[in-house]
Amino acid sequence: MHSQTMFIAGHARLPAGMAAKNVYDMLTITVEIDKRYAVILEASCTLATEHGRDFVGRLLRGYSLQNGVDEVTEHVREHYCGKAIHAIIAALSDLHFQYQQLKIER
């Protein structure tokens, strides 16, 4: 079976005082991307609430990692006002770094 998608994860440390911090030390964002254009088809993260995880997933969907993360980061800044904002942005940067590493290896 030849899959047209790829799964990538990005990680960042969570700030103290967050509900998710009781479960995880790190915030992880996972994405499934289209291999050809690196468009995020599905996204998830390790925030504590299902609503938060779904919201972040919807924010990220449709962005291409080929274009870097500046545009999606700005979109997150405009729409996400939770304590995890800096961790989400750092995890997106790490996610983009992981994507770049995969491109180099291929």
CATH number at residue 76: 3.90.1010.10
DSSP E strand stretches across 15-79: 26-34, 40-45
How far apart CA 64 and CA 70 sit, in angstroms, is 11
Query: According to the model, what pLDDT value does residue 37 have?
Result: 94
How far apart CA 64 and CA 52 sit, in angstroms, is 22
Query: According to the model, what pLDDT value does residue 19 have?
Result: 58
Domain with 82, as residue range(s), is 5-98
Question: In what side-by-side order are the strands of the sheet with 26-34?
Answer: 5-13, 26-34, 40-45
Prediction pTM value: 0.87
**pLDDT mean across residues, the chain:** 89
How many of the other CB atoms lie within 10 Å of CB of 75? 15
Number of domains in the chain: 1
- 57-64: average pLDDT: 97
Where does the pLDDT of residue 16 fall: very low under 50, low under 70, confident under 90, or very high at 90 and above?
Answer: confident
- 62-83: average pLDDT: 95
Q: Decide if 81 is inside a domain.
A: yes
- 46-70: average pLDDT: 94
- pLDDT surpasses 80 at 21: no
Q: Decide if 106 is inside a domain.
A: no
Query: According to the model, what pLDDT value does residue 96 have?
Result: 96
